[in-house]
A and B are shown apart, each in its own frame.
Chain A
Amino acid sequence: MSDRIFGGLGLLFSIFYIWQASLVEDSFMTDAVGPRTFPYILGAGLAIASLIIILRPDAGAHWPAGRQLFELAMAVAVMGIYAWFLPAVGFVIATTLASAYLTWRLGTKPATAVLFGIGSAAGIYVVFKLALGLSLATGPLGI
């Protein structure tokens, strides 16, 4: 069943893609093929592949439910929030929080997780910023 849904989504995406490709405007420079043809071909190819997946699906995939799904959604949310607020908060604070959260959810005890969060953020900061000179996000505290 999940293959059929997947194929259906692929089909919808290819229709959306072809529609978006049809909106591409010509510029003053042109060539024999134009900017829309190859995207059309690709969209059609994806549609065909999706149809075959719908018609001949594999055995269903095993999807997480309930708690597992919640864990995953939370982890993705934490990473998304991390990505969004990193420049505002600064590397060390953001990384401490995100890294502590992830290790806690993978089974580390809360106190150890906090220590690990601080340690990993500091470690990455020292190695990449101080030793290798990479630019990391600088927050209001300067770290």
Chain B
Amino acid sequence: MDTLIALAGGFAVALTWQNLFFALIGSALGTMMGALPGLGPANGVAILIPLAFSLGLGPVPALILLTSVYYGCMYGGRISSILLNIPGDEPAMMTCLDGYPMARNGRAGEALSLSGYASFFGSFFATIGLAILAPQLVRIALLFGPAEYFALFALAFATLGGISSTNQAKAAFAAFLGLMLAMVGVDTQTGTPRLTMGEIHLYDGIDFLVVIVGLFALSEVLIFIEERHGGASAQQAPAIGRIVPSWSLVRHCMPAMTRSTVLGFLAGVLPGAGASLGSFIAYAVEKKVSDRDGTFGKGDPRGVAAPEAGNNAAAGGALVPMLALGVPGSGTTAVLLAVLLAMNITPGPLLFTNNPDVVWGLIAALLIGNVMLLIMNIPMVSLFARVLLLPSRFLMPVVAMISFVGVYGISGSNFDMMMMVLFGVLGWALRKLDVPLVPVVLGVLLGNEMEVNLRRAMTISDGDWSVLLASPLAIGLWSIAIAGFVLPIFTGAMVKRRMKATAVAESAIAEMDRGD
């Protein structure tokens, strides 16, 4: 009941012309960014944050704009997966497996609309799940002291490294690097400058927006330049055909969507996992459950519905720990956390009591945005499919220039822009070496908060390190953290490696089956 009242209040916040306008713009931009290979949710949102910040948007409209982009990307990614067999962003990788064969069989329109419904189904119920689960999690979070928070941050890094990386050492490297960067600047506890090497510009610390835009957006531009990949993804407007799926087809896929939504949501809530994991698990489980005649990988509609419901549900699920605990569940939610921090809003349990308008306005806006996205992604899908005709030789320079505009807007200093170029090069090198970038960003974002909690716990205990393991809750969090990081080494079941392997193997099989 409380939730319903709060949600009604949220609708009152979201239903202003300005906020509806931002939800609409965000959904449209998100669908386009998701559809374009090379621009995904993390770098799409990354480019827009400094802009939202420099435009002086309030926290509610800014958050609505950026989460609409995030949800929109989850919808848009499937367009190029289905039409071209190129995932528009990482979570859409699994949609290629059955979506592209469906398109080859002349059912592109059906695949697009079915996956549109699946996306809607997944994100709608995940948003409802967010509204129900987040306040419960807040109650648990209120039991957390500094020592538990410190353990929780460690847990986020550990599961992020354990589940989503192919090499634990590199994930740990990335996390430590990010945390180390966060230490630069004046120490919040004692006021001494640290690790600045006398550079005045660094006294304020390294701006996390600069790091994020450099690592995510500029490094992508550099990859395109290196490969001199300047062409468009599609040569001609893709044929789509009939876009209304028969009711029996939707009903046929309903159990798949329901299962995938639940799995995707749970995968999203898990700190450190996120949408790619959601779509992978959804597809893998659906294949186990329903693939009796070996139709998966050859254009089974359930193989299209499952990963799409899964990744959209995971996107909603990933917002739960981000809003309730201040610990993001994925790369993009880490970037959204940056938005909150840039707006001087501290996520976590207090967010729900101090800024209920932000939380519930956001949730209401997501529900509204979802309807907008459904309209954009089914009747208007052929319009959005046309962005695939945009050559990256025009797109990438614009991405680079807008990144500069955003960062210049924050501080107006060329020091920050130089730093951004530097982080662009660093991000490019780390990508080449298979070092994940998300832990770096998470480290930069959470570093100070993590240290503050450590030092608070130690101040309370008067310098006794055993305080970190003093409560059962803390011990539990550390055990999960260690298990989440170490177990994948022994089981060898690192999801990302398997995801890549599955995607490669199955598309190879599909190629052979088609005989071309």
Listed in ascending order, the chain A residues whose CB lies under 8 Å from chain B are 2-3, 6, 10, 17, 20-21, 24-27, 29-35, 38-39, 42-43, 45-46, 48-50, 52-53, 56, 58, 61-64, 68, 71-72, 75-76, 79-80, 82-84, 86-87, 91, 95, 98-99, 102-103, 105-108, 116, 120-121, 124, 128, 132-137
With beta carbons under 8 angstroms apart, the residue of A27, A42, A106 that contacts B230 is: A106
Task: Name which residue of chain B comes closest to A82, CB basis.
Answer: B404
Known contacts A2-B433, A102-B397, then 12 further A-B pairs from the complex at CB < 8 Å, ordered by chain A residue: A20-B197, A21-B183, A27-B190, A29-B189, A31-B455, A32-B461, A39-B195, A46-B177, A83-B404, A98-B401, A99-B400, A102-B400
Is the pair B417, A86 in contact by a Cβ cutoff of 8 Å?
Answer: yes
Cβ-defined contact, A30 with B421, below 8 A = no
The dominant DSSP class at the A interface is helix
Query: Cβ of B482 < 8 Å from any Cβ of A?
Result: no
- Total contacts A-B at CB 8 Å: 197
B421/A83 in contact, CB under 8 A: yes
Interface centre among A27, A83, A95 (most CB of B within 10 A): A83
Q: Are B192 and A26 in contact (CB under 8 A)?
A: yes
**Bound complex: CA of A27 vs CA of B461, how far in Å?**
22
Residues of chain B from 439 to 478 with CB closer than 8 A to chain A in the complex: 451, 454-455, 458-459, 461-463
Contacts of A6 on B, CB cut-off 8 Å?
Answer: 433
A120 & B401 in contact (Cβ 8 Å cutoff): yes
* Also in contact, A71 and B228, with CB within 8 A (given A29-B190, A35-B192): yes
Chain A residues with CB under 8 A of B408:
86, 136-137
Q: A106 — which chain B residues lie within 8 A by C-beta?
A: 224-225, 228-230, 392-393, 396-397
Q: Which residues of B contact A79 (CB under 8 A)?
A: 218, 400, 404, 421, 424
**Contact residues in B for A20 (Cβ distance below 8 Å):** 195, 197
B191 at the interface (CB under 8 A from A): yes
Tell me if B245 is interfacial: C-beta within 8 Å of chain A: no
Q: Which residue of A lies closest to B425 (CB)?
A: A76
A29's partner among B169, B179, B191 (CB-CB below 8 A) is B191
Mark contacts of B387-418 with chain A using CB atoms, 8 A cut-off: 1 yes-contact digit, 0 otherwise.
Answer: 00000111011101110110011001010011
A134 in contact with B55 (CB, 8 Å): yes
In angstroms, Cα B218 to Cα A58, docked, is: 25
Give Cα distance in the complex from A95 to B400, angstroms: 10
Determine the residue in chain A with the shortest Cβ distance to B448.
A38
Question: A36's closest neighbor in chain B, by CB?
Answer: B194
Between A and B, 25 residue pairs with Cβ closer than 8 Å are A21-B183, A21-B194, A24-B187, A25-B192, A29-B189, A29-B191, A31-B190, A31-B455, A33-B459, A33-B463, A53-B167, A58-B170, A84-B418, A99-B397, A99-B398, A102-B400, A103-B393, A106-B392, A116-B397, A120-B397, A133-B55, A134-B55, A134-B405, A135-B409, A137-B412
In contact, B420 and A83 (Cβ under 8 angstroms): yes
Within 8 Å CB of A10, what residues of B? 173
A72 and B394 contact, Cβ closer than 8 Å, known pairs A32-B455, A53-B170: no
Q: A81–B485 Cα gap in the complex (Å)?
A: 42
Q: Give the chain B neighbours of A32 by CB distance below 8 A.
A: 455, 458-459, 461-463
Which B residues form the contact surface with A (CB < 8 A)? 51, 54-55, 166-167, 169-170, 172-173, 176-177, 179-180, 183, 187, 189-195, 197, 218, 221-222, 224-226, 228-231, 392-394, 396-398, 400-402, 404-405, 408-409, 412, 414, 417-418, 420-421, 424-425, 428, 432-434, 451, 454-455, 458-459, 461-463
Give every chain B residue within 8 A of A21 (Cβ-Cβ): 183, 194-195
Q: Is the CB of A58 within 8 A of B459?
A: no
Nearest CB of B to A20, in Å: 5
Q: When chains A and B are docked, how far (Å) is the Cα of A49 from the Cα of B435?
A: 12
Q: Is the CB of A135 within 8 A of B54?
A: yes
For the complex, what is the distance from the CA of A34 to the CA of B179, rounded to whole Å?
17
Distance from B172 Cβ to chain A, minimum over Cβ atoms (Å): 4
Minimum Cβ distance to chain B for residue A16 (Å): 10
Across the interface, which residues of B come within 8 angstroms of A121, CB to CB?
A: 401
By beta carbon, the residue of chain B nearest A117 is B397
Nearest 10 A/B pairs, CB to CB: A83-B417, A106-B393, A107-B230, A106-B230, A102-B397, A32-B463, A52-B169, A49-B173, A46-B176, A49-B172
Q: How far is the CB of A23 from chain B (nearest CB, A)?
A: 9
Question: How far is it, in angstroms, between the C-alpha of A17 and the C-alpha of B451 when the chains are bound?
Answer: 17
Q: Is the CB of B195 within 8 A of A17?
A: yes
Most B CB within 10 A of own CB, among A25, A26, A71, A134: A134
Query: By the criterion CB–CB under 8 Å, are B190 and A26 in contact?
Result: yes
Known contacts A27-B190, A106-B396, A134-B51; A124/B230 CB under 8 A: no
Question: Inside 8 A of A128's CB, which chain B residues have their CB?
Answer: 51, 405
Q: List, in ascending order, chain A residues with CB within 8 A of B398's CB.
A: 99, 120, 124
Instruction: Check A107–B393 contact: CB distance below 8 A.
Output: yes
Bound-state Cα–Cα, A116 to B398, Å: 10
Residues of chain A lying within 8 A (CB to CB) of residue B392: 106
Closest to A23 in B: B195
On whether A49 and B402 interact (CB within 8 A), knowing A106-B230, A135-B412, the answer reads: no
B461 closest partner in A (C-beta): A32
Report if A105-B225 is in contact (Cβ < 8 Å); known contacts: A6-B433, A124-B401.
Answer: yes
- B401 & A107 in contact (Cβ 8 Å cutoff): no
- Check B432 against A62 for contact (C-beta < 8 Å): yes
Query: Which of B51, B55, B396 has a CB less than 8 Å from the CB of A102?
Result: B396
Cβ of A27 and Cβ of B405 under 8 Å apart?
Answer: no
B175 to chain A, nearest CB (A): 8
